[in-house]
Chains A and B, each alone.
Chain A
Amino acid sequence: MVSKKKSSSIDVKILEHELVPKHVIVDIDEGIKILKQYGIKPEQLPWLRASDPVARAIGAKPGDIVKIVRKSPTGGEVIVYRYVVPG
């Protein structure tokens, strides 16, 4: 229980860390659009575990698609998607 309490206090802090890119949960219509655009099933996207600290901080549930805005050294801002899986 003690460790749970401790982790909650840095929950907000981790989202501000410079290594953590912006994560946004996409709504279902946009999710379908993305899958159509790539022509893939959701589980073919890279995964994001539901237990991932960032996933928990933004409240992503298994089945969600999370949009990640990475700052890439080669292409400025790059948008990637991850599919939230249990575990």
Chain B
Amino acid sequence: MGEIGGARNSIEKLVESELSGLMPRIVEDIKMAFTKYGISYEKAKHMLKIIKDEIENNTIDPGEAVGIVAAQSIGEPSTQMTLRTFHYAGVRELNVTLGLPRLIELVDAKKTPSTPLTYIYLLPEYNNREKAIEIARKIELTRIINVALKVDVDLFNNVIVLTLDPSMLIDKGVSVDDVVKSLQKHLKKTNITISEENPNEIIIQFEEPIDPIKVESIRDKILNIKIKGIKGINKVVIQKRGDEYVLVCEGSNLRELMDVEGIDYRRIRTNNIKEVEEILGIEAARSLLIEEMINVLEEQGLDVNIRHVMLVADIMTRTGTVKPIGRHGVAGSKDSVLAKAAFEVTVKQLVDAAVHGDMDLLRGIAENVIIGNYIPVGTAKVKLVYNPYMG
């Protein structure tokens, strides 16, 4: 037994020394495979040589035009995507933008996605139906308009009568007193009482006469008063995934949601890249960007290697903020005037460059194509450099 253990150790050491500097996961995988099939020391040595050659063959060479390969590898499958935005039937009552529109949204680094969604997971001790409903009610933004049946304005008596919908009150978990309280908080110079004839009627008595011109705006103001919830969370749907309850919210507000008790703030997810950048930082935005792009492509049944998507995400997050691809973002920050002019708004670029007296160092691809030089890619990338200070 001791002898076998010793042999195992020496093989593991051999693997580590031969493959040093490689990604730890590959090294671990190889070690595991060797153990599993009981490879002898000599065989292991021989196999490692083959593995090393294979890795070398599969590593990207310096000067390889990885950006162009990535652009083509994402671009071509995108043409196969359905242009239609699906109204996703799988998720009850919720729409998700998918397909090409979503991909464009991601690449353009839009401030808010057209369908912002948040997925909230609950802490283990809150993971039951009752607690899930409780939290869902607590965070869902409820305005007067959601529970109101009608609003009557009585200009003679300076009274606005607000009739509430009892079934909606139960659905949202709001009492008439809650409504009165929030009305009192937001409306000045009024006397708010619950009607004696009808417990669902609230009478708002104004001290000053209501200006007939402003009736509409007062009505809107009353209807938009917040009773409870978090700003931006418009609709909450409770889903059961496996033995876990997930709250799917329309809209997002990470900062406030992470502070809510019972929510697993480690796993909360939104599809709003810009918000994640602001709250969780650029690295989180990068991971989310990759995840979202791969999801869109996979959902359409397109098999794009994640490395291409990772390259795009890396370039978009290089300056510490999420920048769109395009003339306002990545393409617009190119050093070369000619490369920028070749992309979009040619005349403006050239005029600006002329005004500023810019210089083009001809280091990129596009500018060298324009002037008819070799493009600095592959073997043409290599230049001879003489360093007089090196011995």
Contact = CB atoms under 8 A, between A and B. Distances in A.
Q: Do A and B bind each other?
A: yes
Interface of A: 6-7, 9-10, 13-14, 16-21, 23, 46-49, 52-55, 68, 70, 72-78, 82, 85, 87
A7 B265 CA distance: 14
Interface size bracket, B side: 20 to 34
B352 interface: no
A47 B307 contact: no
Given A17-B284, A74-B306, A74-B307, A46 B318 contact: yes
A20 B267 contact: no
B28 A23 contact: no
Interface majority SS on A: helix, strand, loop or mixed? mixed
Nearest to A19: B284
B243 to A, nearest CB: 19
10 contacts: A9-B259, A10-B265, A17-B268, A18-B266, A19-B288, A46-B318, A49-B320, A54-B282, A72-B310, A75-B24
B276 A87 contact: no
Interface in B139-186: none
B278 A53 contact: yes
Nearest to B305: A74
Contacts of B281: 14, 20, 52-55
B255 A10 contact: yes
Report, nearest first, the 9 A-B pairs whose CB atoms are least far apart. A76-B25, A75-B23, A54-B281, A19-B284, A47-B320, A49-B320, A52-B281, A46-B318, A20-B284
A73 to B, nearest CB: 6
Given A55-B281, A75-B25, A13 B318 contact: no
Nearest to B294: A73
A47 B317 CA distance: 8
A77 B25 contact: yes
B23 A54 contact: no
A46 B320 CA distance: 7
Contacts of A17: 265-268, 280, 284
A76 B320 contact: no
Interface string B248-281: 0000000110110000011111000000101111
Contacts of A48: 282, 320
B16 interface: no
Nearest to A84: B320
B284 A76 contact: no
Query: Of A9, A47, A77, which is in contact with the most chain B CB atoms at under 10 Å from its CB?
Result: A47
A76 B23 contact: yes
B280 A20 contact: yes
Query: Of A21, A52, A72, which is in contact with the most chain B CB atoms at under 10 Å from its CB?
Result: A52
A55 to B, nearest CB: 7
A49 B285 CA distance: 13
B335 interface: no
Query: Of A6, A23, A55, A72, which is in contact with the most chain B CB atoms at under 10 Å from its CB?
Result: A72
Query: Of B259, B282, B317, B318, which is in contact with the most chain A CB atoms at under 10 Å from its CB?
Result: B282
Given A9-B259, A46-B317, 7 more contacts: A10-B258, A19-B280, A20-B283, A21-B287, A49-B321, A54-B284, A70-B283
A49 B321 CA distance: 8
A49 B306 contact: no
Contact of A10 (B23, B259, B287): B259
A72 B294 CA distance: 14
A38 B307 CA distance: 21
Contacts of B23: 75-78
B314 interface: yes
Contacts of A7: 255
B347 interface: no
Contacts of B283: 19-21, 23, 54, 68, 70
Nearest to A77: B24
Interface string B23-36: 11110100000000
